[in-house]
Structure 1
Amino acid sequence: MRIRFGLRMAIVTGAVLLAGSGLGAQSSGSSAGRWSAERANAWYAKQPWLVGANYVPSDAINQLEMFQAATWNPKLNDKELGLAESIGMNTVRVFLQDQLWEQDPDGFKKRLDEFLSIAARHHIRPMLVLFDSCWESDPKLGPQHPPIPGVHNSGWVQSPGAKGLTDPSYEPKLAAYVRGVVGAFAKDDRILAWDIWNEPDNGNGSAKEPKNKAELVDALLPKAFAWAREENPVQPLTSGVWNGDWSNVEKETATTKIQLAESDVISFHSYAWPEGFEARIKELLPLGRPILCSEYMARGAGSTFDTSLPIAKKYHVGAINWGLVNGKTQTNLPWDSWTRPYTLAQPTIWFHDVFYTDGRPYRQYEVDLIRELTGRGTAAR
Structure 2
Amino acid sequence: MRSEDVHGFNYDGSWGTSGLDLWQHHDHGRMAVEVARGKRYFPGWNVARWWLSHEAHQRDPQRFLANLEAGLGVFAQHDVLVIPVLFNRWRDPVCDFGGVPLDHLLPHHSAWTGADDLFARPDAGDPVAAPVQGIFHRYLADVVGAHVDDPRIYAWDLCNEPLMGRYVDDEESPVRRAELSWLTWCHRVCKDLGARAPLTVGNYPNLTALALTEPISDILSFHPYYMWNGSGNQPHTKTKDGFERFLDDCVALAGRAGKELVANETVWGARDDAKHVEVMRYTLGELRRRGIGHVVHALHHSLAADLHQDAWGPVGTPEWLHFVEADGSLRAGHEAFDEFAPPRVP
Q: TM-score range by the shorter chain?
A: 0.7 to 0.9
Q: Provide, for residues 242-271 of structure 1, a one-character-per-residue CA deviation record: whole Å limited to 9, x for no partner.
A: 244x3xxxxx3xx54431111000111121
> Do structure 1's residue 366 and structure 2's residue 334 form an aligned pair?
yes
> Do structure 1's residue 176 and structure 2's residue 138 form an aligned pair?
yes
2:16 is aligned, of 48, 60, 71, to 60
Change (3 A) 1:344 1:235: closer
2:302 is aligned, of 301, 318, 327, to 327
Residue in 1 aligned with 2:258?
288
Residue in 2 aligned with 1:164?
104
Residue in 1 aligned with 2:291?
316
Residue in 1 aligned with 2:86?
130
One-letter code of the match for 1:80? Answer: E
Q: Answer yes or no: is the 8 Å Cα contact 1:134–1:203 preserved in 2.
A: no
Change (3 A) 1:200 1:349: closer
1:200 is aligned, of 136, 144, 162, to 162
Q: Provide, for residues 50-93 of structure 1, a one-character-per-residue CA deviation record: whole Å limited to 9, x for no partner.
A: 1122211111112222222xx11111111111122121211121
1:190 is aligned, of 144, 152, 162, to 152
TM-score in terms of structure 1 length: 0.69
Q: Kindly report the root-mean-square deviation, in angstroms, between the aligned alpha carbons of the 2 structures.
A: 3.3
Q: What secondary structure sits across from 1:292 in the alignment? A: strand
One-letter code of the match for 1:281? Answer: L
Q: Answer yes or no: is the 8 Å Cα contact 1:240–1:259 preserved in 2.
A: no
Change (3 A) 1:48 1:79: farther
Quote how far apart the aligned CAs of 1:183 are. 0.5
- Between stretches 308-317 and 76-85, larger displacement belongs to 308-317
Quote how far apart the aligned CAs of 1:276 are. 4.1
Change (3 A) 1:74 1:277: farther
Q: Distance in 1 between matches of 2:152 and 2:49?
A: 13
- Between stretches 162-171 and 312-321, larger displacement belongs to 162-171
Quote how far apart the aligned CAs of 1:48 are. 7.5
Q: Answer yes or no: is the 8 Å Cα contact 2:302–2:308 preserved in 1.
A: no
Q: Answer yes or no: is the 8 Å Cα contact 1:133–1:203 preserved in 2.
A: no
One-letter code of the match for 1:292? Answer: V
Residue in 2 aligned with 1:19?
none
Quote how far apart the aligned CAs of 1:374 are. 1.7
Q: Distance in 2 between matches of 1:344 and 1:183?
A: 37
Q: Provide, for residues 126-152 of structure 1, a one-character-per-residue CA deviation record: whole Å limited to 9, x for no partner.
A: 11111111227xxxxxxxxxxxxxx85
Q: Answer yes or no: is the 8 Å Cα contact 1:85–1:123 preserved in 2.
A: no
Residue in 2 aligned with 1:219?
181
Quote how far apart the aligned CAs of 1:184 are. 0.6
Q: What secondary structure sits across from 1:260 in the alignment? A: helix
2:69 is aligned, of 96, 106, 113, to 113
Please show how residues 7-46 of structure 1 align to structure 2 within 5 Å: 44-45=1-2
Gaps of 5+ in 1: 1-43, 137-150, 206-210, 247-251, 335-340
Q: Provide, for residues 311-370 of structure 1, a one-character-per-residue CA deviation record: whole Å limited to 9, x for no partner.
A: 222333121122222231251579xxxxxx99999999953110111121122x221x22
1:259 is aligned, of 209, 213, 223, to 213
Quote how far apart the aligned CAs of 1:165 are. 2.1
Aligned residues between the structures: 294
Q: Answer yes or no: is the 8 Å Cα contact 2:305–2:316 preserved in 1.
A: no
One-letter code of the match for 2:329? Answer: R
Change (3 A) 1:288 1:103: same
Q: Answer yes or no: is the 8 Å Cα contact 1:195–1:239 preserved in 2.
A: yes
Please show how residues 78-89 of structure 1 align to structure 2 within 5 Å: 78-86=32-40, 87=42, 88-89=44-45
Change (3 A) 1:270 1:349: closer
One-letter code of the match for 2:98? Answer: V
Q: What secondary structure sits across from 2:284 in the alignment? A: helix
> Do structure 1's residue 231 and structure 2's residue 173 form an aligned pair?
no
Quote how far apart the aligned CAs of 1:193 are. 0.6
Change (3 A) 1:277 1:292: farther
Q: Provide, for residues 106-163 of structure 1, a one-character-per-residue CA deviation record: whole Å limited to 9, x for no partner.
A: 3222110000001111111111111111227xxxxxxxxxxxxxx85x14101x2345
Q: What secondary structure sits across from 1:126 in the alignment? A: strand
Q: What secondary structure sits across from 1:229 in the alignment? A: helix
Q: Distance in 2 between matches of 1:349 and 1:62?
A: 17
